[in-house]
Structure formats: C-alpha cells, structure tokens
C-alpha cells in the first residue's frame, strides 16, 4: 500500500509539473532555440485570455477556435493524463514538415509548429481544462500572432484514449488545429 501511495503521489506531481507555465514555456523555447529564435515570455494577460476561452470549451471539449486577437493552437486529449506538455510536443513534432528555405509546409500540416517558432511572437499564455469523459482541452495563445496572407484552418487534434496509442506523424498531420487572426496591431500587454 505504501508503494502504491508513493507511486500515486509521484505520478500526480509529474502530471501537475507537466501542466505548469514553466513547462509550456520551456518546451516552446527549446523548439525556438533549435532554429535560432529567441525565447518567449509568459504573459499573464494572454494566459487569462486562454483560460477564459478554455472554460467556455470544457463542457463539450469542442475543438473550436476563439477567433480572438492572438495566434492559437488547440488540442484535446481523450485520456485524463493528457498534459499541456503533451500538446506542445505534438505541435513541435510538425518540425520535419516545415521547410525553412521556402518558409512553407511540405508534405503535411506545420502551422502549429510555425506558430511556436514564429520570431515575432514573444509572449504566450496557456490553459488546460478537463472536459467530458476524462478528456482534456488545451489552448495556447501567442502574442503577436503569425501574420500571413493565408488564414490557416486545420482539423482538430484527436488523441486516443490511451497514451500508448499516440498518433503517428502521418495521423498528426490531419489531427491538429491552429488559428491565425487577421492582421492587427502588435500590442504589448506589459507582463
């Protein structure tokens, strides 16, 4: 029984640690450093926006974008242990689908990855909320968003019921969702 409690507490702490702002930020900044882009900073203002939007989605875990002023990646994991860090790793796994020379996606979806490493995006906020049937809804907002002449609209993330069934790279290409708002003024929220 004591071993079970120690294991349970360890797993609970590990899950909470993978849902902390520093974890989201570290994973983003690692992906950015790999391509020579400076680090992002946590924004309480952007995080409050992400949290407010996530709360609206938690009843049904609907994969619908906020269409607000920030860049946005969303994900849903259909098992209770799905962390925000898991979502960030899925987005970062699009890196091989991005061609830096042409600044285009090749062979699949890479919009989540490009939002993560977009040089002009310097602030982020993240939220994760539980929703129906042990699912988790994750939203990450970026300020300023990627500016592009083409809007990006993709299929939502679909993560299976068990971690061992995580989708392959081929499946992830069609199971991610991100949003770019129309061009707007860069605003600094001061945090």
Q: Which domain holds residue 47?
A: 2-179
Answer yes or no: is pLDDT of 163 > 50: no
Looking up residue 119, the CATH number of its domain turns out to be: 3.40.33.10
The predicted pLDDT at position 148 comes to 52
Q: Report pLDDT for 109.
A: 86
How many domains in the chain? 1
Mean pLDDT, the chain, whole residue set? 74
First to last CA, the chain: 46
pLDDT digits (tens, 9 = 90+) for 47-99: 999 999 999 988 877 888 999 999 999 998 888 889 999 999 999 999 999 88
Mode of pairing for the β-strands spanning 135-143 and 123-131? antiparallel
**CA dist., res. 178 & res. 164, Å (int):** 24
Q: Is residue 76 part of a domain?
A: yes
Q: Which of 55, 69, 70 is nearest to 138 (CA)?
A: 55
pLDDT above 60 (res 5): no
């Amino acid at each position: 029984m004591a071993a079970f409690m120690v294991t349970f507490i360890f797993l609970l702490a590990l899950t909470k640690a993978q849902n902390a702002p520093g974890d989201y930020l570290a994973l983003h900044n690692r992906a950015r450093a790999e391509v020579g882009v400076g680090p992002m900073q946590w924004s309480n203002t952007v995080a409050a926006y992400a949290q407010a939007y996530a709360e609206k989605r938690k009843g049904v875990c609907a994969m619908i974008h906020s269409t607000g002023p920030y860049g946005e990646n969303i994900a849903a994991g259909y098992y209770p242990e799905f962390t925000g860090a898991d979502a960030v790793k899925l987005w970062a796994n699009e890196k091989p689908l991005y061609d830096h020379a042409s600044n285009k996606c090749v062979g699949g979806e890479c919009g989540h990855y490009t939002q993560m490493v977009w040089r002009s995006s310097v602030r982020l906020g993240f939220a994760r909320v539980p929703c129906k049937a042990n699912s988790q809804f994750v939203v990450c907002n970026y300020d300023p968003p990627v500016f592009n002449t083409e809007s990006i609209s993709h299929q939502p993330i679909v993560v299976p019921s068990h971690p061992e069934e995580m989708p392959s790279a081929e499946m992830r290409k069609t199971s991610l969702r991100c949003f770019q708002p129309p061009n707007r003024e860069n605003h600094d929220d001061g945090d």
